[in-house]
Structure 1
């Protein structure tokens, strides 16, 4: 979907759901990482993360658009447009708009690799997420020298 198709979709959604026109610019912004979209106060434009459509489909995209249009119309009218405002929450309910966007990235934690070090004297093992300079540090138990063990996967 291109920016002009997004513009048309937002204008159509604004007319059908809110009964008011959307008179400003709508565009995709692929630099958005943690949010589905945002309403720009300065120029009244709406930016949408293209991952919303790619990951979750058209239904979620329309939900994000309705959410951003709530900000837009309330701000234009001079009413409470922020997430914590009663006007905003009321309009979200009236238009069946989502309060939050579904996550755009997988929430699975990456498998963390550890560096394993071993004391040459007492053979105490150390597990570290960050690499350490073995010339700089000694064993905390016996003050022996430390060697790095190969990472096994």
Structure 2
């Protein structure tokens, strides 16, 4: 499937589910990984994750399209188009769109491991961190004791 076929698909879903035409641009974005799609308020364009389509198929992507079209139509009607708005939640339920897309398996694999451990010198509570920080600026959350920073050796850890 290419962008032109996606455009036609979004136009069909818009007319069938919302009774209103989609008059802007829809395209795939091959870099979207953490989200299934995006709606741009300035240009009114929609981007859909290519990875969601290849991994989960047309049925799940159609739910994502409906989600993005909810943003689109409500924004153009000057109604509440954000996730927290009642208008958005109601319309999404009516058309059968999804609130959240499924997580991609590649996103879980690329998680960064913990590199640092903070240890309280008083109560020995341990805090794992991915980023390095200055322990002088922080205190233990349990006893307010001083923290000492340790670097974890990732080569020996499995």
Aligned twin of 1:50 = 50
Supply the distance in 2 between the matched residues of 1:109 and 1:23 (Cα, whole angstroms).
Answer: 37
CA deviation map 1:90-147 (0-9, x unaligned):
001111111111112353687x699xxxxxxxxxxxxxx9xxxxxxxxxxxxxxxxxx
Question: In the superposition, relative to structure 1, how do residues 85 and 113 fare at CA in structure 2: closer, same or farther (>3 Å)?
Answer: closer
Residues 24-43 of structure 1 aligned to structure 2 (within 5 Å): 24-43=24-43
Q: What runs of 5+ residues in structure 2 fail to find an aligned partner?
A: 116-129, 131-152
Supply the distance in 2 between the matched residues of 1:152 and 1:98 (Cα, whole angstroms).
Answer: 38
Normalising by the residue count of structure 2, what TM-score does the alignment of the two structures yield? 0.68
Supply the distance in 2 between the matched residues of 1:63 and 1:42 (Cα, whole angstroms).
Answer: 23
Aligned twin of 1:13 = 13
Tell me the C-alpha RMSD between the 2 structures: 2.6
4+ residue runs over 3 A deviation: 106-110, 150-153
Q: What runs of 5+ residues in structure 1 fail to find an aligned partner?
A: 115-128, 130-147
Quote the offset at 1:39 in angstroms. Answer: 0.3
Supply the distance in 2 between the matched residues of 1:43 and 1:113 (Cα, whole angstroms).
Answer: 40
Quote the offset at 1:32 in angstroms. Answer: 1.4
CA deviation map 1:8-40 (0-9, x unaligned):
000000000101000000011112120000000
Query: Between Structure 1 and Structure 2, which shows a larger proportion of helix residues?
Result: 2
Residues 114-133 of structure 1 aligned to structure 2 (within 5 Å): none
* Secondary structure in 1 matching 2:105: coil
Aligned twin of 1:143 = none
Normalising by the residue count of structure 1, what TM-score does the alignment of the two structures yield? 0.71
Aligned twin of 1:80 = 80
CA contact (8 A) 2:38 2:68 kept: yes
> Aligned residues, how many?
121
Supply the distance in 2 between the matched residues of 1:5 and 1:105 (Cα, whole angstroms).
Answer: 26
Tell which structure's C-alpha radius of gyration is larger. Answer: 1
